[in-house]
Amino acid sequence: MAGVKSRLTHDEVKQLQHLLGSRQFSLLYKASVHGYNASIFHAKCDAQGPTVAIAYNGSGYIFGGFTRHGYVSSGGYINDEKAFLFRLKGKEGVLSPLKIPVTTASGAIYDHSSSGPNFGGGALHLLNQNAAAAATSSNNNYTYNVADLHGNDLGLIECEVYRAEDISSFLESPWRKITWTTEERGKIMEEIRSYKPYLNSVPQIRILVLGPIGAGKSSFFNSVNSVFRGYVTSQAIAGSDNSSVTTQYRTYPVKDGRDGKPLPIIFCDTMGIEEKSGTGLEIDEVSNIIKGHVPDRYQFNPAATLCPDSPGYVKTPSLKDQIHCVAFVIDGCKIEILPEKLEEKLKQLRRKVNQIGIPQLVLLTKVDEICPSLEEDVQCVYKSKAVEKQMRITAEKLGIPLAQIVPVKNYCSELDLLCDADILLLSAVRQLIRLAESYLDNFPFEKPKKEL
């Protein structure tokens, strides 16, 4: 399992937000991955605050329940006057929202360690008998027609539980200062264009982009490339799949416009990092890449890393062929639910990169999904409490200073460039350049050769 993915579509999330108000959803539990088991559900979801449980059946219905109080395995009922049952989709997956408020608040939630999400003591009980099934009955706690909720199809093909945090509040002032103007955008672009590494032997800095599959590695390069091209474009293969979309090691120079000169940066793209050993990018391969032994277009083979006897192995790479900075791309929506083995693999990579002495920056992607309000106004990114929280969690989990984490919004569905998104992307690139420059400071200055 390379990661835990939400089954909800963008439109379904929007509909859920309409029912619940302005909330951020973080996936805590997914039955098909973690198991149809009440004890696992409580291990994942207890003490998480407001939650929404969502069930999917084979008839196309999507239904569930919301509680503003966290589960604690108390063995009794939780009083919640704001709890309710809901339906997002009806027969054959047609959007048909329905909200069923709690009737008796004192019996809103039955919170027992042996029971899955249980609204009203059986009004809606998911993971019934630790199986892929629901049990429902109209009672004094919730009064409704059970067929309206799920079409009398109690078999489940999936059950998910999300933390549902209120994100309507923002900080009064941003905790990092950014100037959001077209002039600032042009200023940073010119700063990047005019940058020149102080070592003559390194005409362009190389930035290695690492991250789990689906986090947005290739999309980050495409987005930066789009900014300098002047329109949204896609050069590196990007997308989402159960395994890495990128299978080759690729080096991507960035040009200043279609026919412009190359900028002083090269992005190096790799396979995504996966949880299981023998899949995705391996740690030993990262060491080879950083030291410059891996040629462009090298086809990765997770079962066998590149060695000195391998075809194409670069035996004596120069400093210009080596990596000068590493960018870890992390999906901000999933940092809290990274599988343990994947989290440990990321930490091992961090340790390996630290041993080699390469500076690192974390790019926290999908900020508009962390805080949906940012879809309308990216300028609030450093006012968003939700984004700040995810950045601090990332710092703690990966053991990296908060100063080395920046939020970005890649171009995914947009057809035209957006000034605010460009400024976040350009600010990230500028920081990567600064970190790479600090790495090059470790090497002796080369005096320019005299012309004959």
Number of folded domains in the chain?
A: 2
Question: Is there a single domain that holds both residue 361 and residue 426?
Answer: yes
What pLDDT, on the 0 to 100 scale, is given for residue 261? 85
pTM: 0.68
My answer on whether 203 and 302 are in the same domain is yes
In a domain, residue 39? The reply is yes
Q: 211 with 343, same domain? A: yes
Both 262 and 237 in a single domain?
Answer: yes
Task: Identify the pLDDT of residue 445.
Answer: 67
Asked if residue 397 belongs to a domain, the reply is yes
Tell me: do 291 and 423 sit in the same domain. yes
pLDDT at residue 451, rounded to an integer: 46
Domain boundary among 168, 193, 222: 168
Of the CA atoms within 13 Å of residue 287, those in its CB half-sphere come to: 13
Q: Both 184 and 329 in a single domain? A: yes
- Judgement on whether residues 232 and 115 belong to the same structural domain of the protein: no
Which domain range does residue 59 map to?
Answer: 10-168
Q: 3 in a domain, yes or no?
A: no
Beta bridge partners of 390: none
The answer to whether position 2 is within a domain reads no
**Tens-place pLDDT, residues 124-172:** 999 988 999 999 999 999 999 999 999 999 999 999 999 998 765 688 8
Of the residues 139, 168, 197, which one is the last residue of a structural domain? Answer: 168
| Together in a domain, 47 and 180 | no
pLDDT at 2: 40
What pLDDT score does 246 carry?
Answer: 60
What pLDDT, on the 0 to 100 scale, is given for residue 257? Answer: 82
In a domain, 4, yes or no: no
Residues of the chain predicted below pLDDT 50: 1-2, 241, 243, 450-452
According to the model, what pLDDT value does residue 77 have?
96
448 inside domain = no
pLDDT in the model for residue 424: 97
Contact 102, 78 (CB under 8 A): no
| Residue at a domain's end among 133, 151, 168 | 168
Are 96 and 204 contained in the same domain? no
> If you search the block for the tokens 């035996």, which residue do you land on?
315
Instruction: Tell me: do 124 and 224 sit in the same domain.
Output: no
Same domain, 356 and 326: yes
Q: Residues with Cβ < 8 Å from 273, sequence gap 6 or more?
A: 210, 211, 212, 213, 280, 281, 342, 345, 346, 349
pLDDT tens-place string over residues 319-339: 999 999 999 999 988 887 777
Note the pLDDT of residue 452: 39
Domain membership of residue 266 (yes or no) is: yes
- Please report the pLDDT score of residue 353 as a whole number: 95
| Same domain for 157 and 212 | no
